[in-house]
Structure 1
Amino acid sequence: MTEKKIVLRAKNVQREFVSGDTTVTALRNCSLDVSAGEFVAIVGKSGSGKSTLANCLSGLDRPTSGTVTLLDRDLATLSEAEMAGLRAKEIGFVLQKDNLIPSLTIEENVAAPLVMGGMKLSAALDRARDMLAEVGLQHRAGQWPSQVSGGEAQRAAVARACVAEPAIIFADEPTGSLDEENGKQVQEIFHKLVATTGAAGLIITHDMDLAAGADVVVTIVDGQVVSTERKA
């Protein structure tokens, strides 16, 4: 069996926050690997540090110590401009709220990462329509975010995260604001797109049902990785 390429590696990541004379350690020596085509769930209660870890892994925050390597690049060595470029090209994000731009149509929202990356608008819109078809929203392409349901908006957000074919897609509580039926739809679509694009998928959640479909489940308690369970 061919060994999968490691897309993201965190080693002994520690994050401390200082307030006056007080130092709060949000992360303690967290380590994990995420490989291409692999779906990893980071689970933990509210306040456990899982979102702080995701921010460090995605370059939105910098750890106090330890290393985070994305596609063999140590994030600590990158300038803000280099990190922004790497995020734009190689990282997709799906948040609890869809964060669609209300003044853009659904297809324009999905095309936005491609346009920001330098693709011509016509080509970006063609690619966006293909992605919307993948998530069952081709009939909503020309509508405004205010004209679609919450579940449809979140599916569009998943399409937007995947449209540029990034190396890794982060999803932070992507079904947290949805009802059970829409949450299941978004979960299935996210899994499918990770599998078909070969990207790595990393989901942050406290929902064990959502985590159950992952290849690897990483449990974090009080800022520490306490277990890593990998499916056989």
Structure 2
Amino acid sequence: MTANDIVLRGELLRKEFLSGDTTVAALKDCTIEVLASEFVAIVGKSGSGKSTLANVLSGLDRPTSGTVTLLGRDISSLSEAEMASLRARKIGFVLQKDNLIPSLTLAENVAAPLVMSGVKLSQALRSARDMLGEVGLDHRAAQWPSQVSGGEAQRAAIARACVVEPAVVFADEPTGALDEENGSRVQELLHKLVSTLGAAGLIITHDMDLATGADVVVTMADGAIVNTKRKA
């Protein structure tokens, strides 16, 4: 992919819920696109719709209307099994909490997505150690999550999200549980890995310092995109 390729696009996305007898629109005709090697920050107050938008774009939820296109493929009408397979191969997730499995080493945690997609364990572990090296944790590969710091655990979570070389990485408040120093390091790593992979990156955040480091800042309010600001 080249830098101008559209990796992910949502067009006129609408998501409605029933609340009693009332239909509530959590998303209102939102259109957004993310290019290869580009980071887009989705910001807004609690309840603005940013998490709903991320869930729809990642295929975790289906829009009431509108389309989501990933690598030129309309994913809105895929079956649950097809969507799960696509997420496993093409989408990486980084959450506020690392969600590492306590009974697995860091290398085994990072290897897990590859193993689940059918890669042999030995090969998956080699790739996992290589990816841990990319985030500066090759010396921690054999340790348990309980033996590393919060910042190191979050870096391992980034390695896990990126080990399948996804087309898009979703990061939901990825620095929210970290101090300023570790938050900055995690932010730098996310940008570096997304750029190296040529992936699209989406950050959902309340942290405006994190948002200002993005290539595009999308502001949401009341379920709608009210502003899109791209760096010059």
Report the TM-score range of the alignment, normalised by the length of the smaller protein.
Answer: over 0.9
- In the alignment, what sits opposite 1:141? 141
Displacement of 1:22: 2.1
How many residue pairs are counted as aligned between the two chains? 231
**Could you report, residue by residue, the CA deviation over 1:98-122 in whole angstroms, capped at 9, with x for unpaired residues?**
0101111000000111111111111
- In the alignment, what sits opposite 2:34? 34
- In the alignment, what sits opposite 1:52? 52
**Could you report, residue by residue, the CA deviation over 1:33-65 in whole angstroms, capped at 9, with x for unpaired residues?**
111111111111111110010000000000111
Secondary structure of 1:161's aligned partner: helix
Q: Distance in 2 between matches of 1:31 and 1:140?
A: 41
- In the alignment, what sits opposite 1:162? 162
Ranges in structure 2 where 5+ consecutive residues have no aligned partner: none
Displacement of 1:18: 0.6
- In the alignment, what sits opposite 1:224? 224
One-letter code aligned to 1:58: S
What RMSD in Å do the two structures reach over aligned CA positions? 1.0
Secondary structure of 2:52's aligned partner: helix
- In the alignment, what sits opposite 1:188? 188
Secondary structure of 1:10's aligned partner: strand
**Could you report, residue by residue, the CA deviation over 1:137-174 in whole angstroms, capped at 9, with x for unpaired residues?**
11110011111111111000000000010000000000
Displacement of 1:19: 2.4
Secondary structure of 2:181's aligned partner: helix
Secondary structure of 1:76's aligned partner: coil
One-letter code aligned to 1:146: S
Distance 1:114 1:3, change over 3 A: closer
- In the alignment, what sits opposite 2:9? 9
Secondary structure of 2:25's aligned partner: strand
Q: Distance in 2 between matches of 1:43 and 1:164?
A: 27
- In the alignment, what sits opposite 1:125? 125
Secondary structure of 1:18's aligned partner: strand
One-letter code aligned to 1:208: M
- In the alignment, what sits opposite 1:75? 75
- In the alignment, what sits opposite 2:102? 102
- The answer to whether the Cα contact below 8 Å between 2:3 and 2:36 also exists between their aligned partners in 1 is no
Displacement of 1:3: 6.4
Displacement of 1:204: 0.5
Q: Distance in 1 between matches of 2:46 and 2:147?
A: 32
One-letter code aligned to 2:142: G
One-letter code aligned to 2:226: V
Aligned residues with identical type, % of pairs: 77
Secondary structure of 2:175's aligned partner: coil
Secondary structure of 1:77's aligned partner: coil
One-letter code aligned to 1:104: L
Query: What is the TM-score when the length of structure 1 is the normalising length?
Result: 0.97
Secondary structure of 1:118's aligned partner: coil
Q: Distance in 1 between matches of 2:76 and 2:190?
A: 29
- In the alignment, what sits opposite 1:174? 174
Displacement of 1:67: 1.0
- In the alignment, what sits opposite 1:88? 88
The runs of at least 4 consecutive aligned structure 1 residues that moved more than 2 Å come to none
Secondary structure of 1:165's aligned partner: coil
- In the alignment, what sits opposite 1:112? 112
Q: Distance in 2 between matches of 1:194 and 1:47?
A: 28
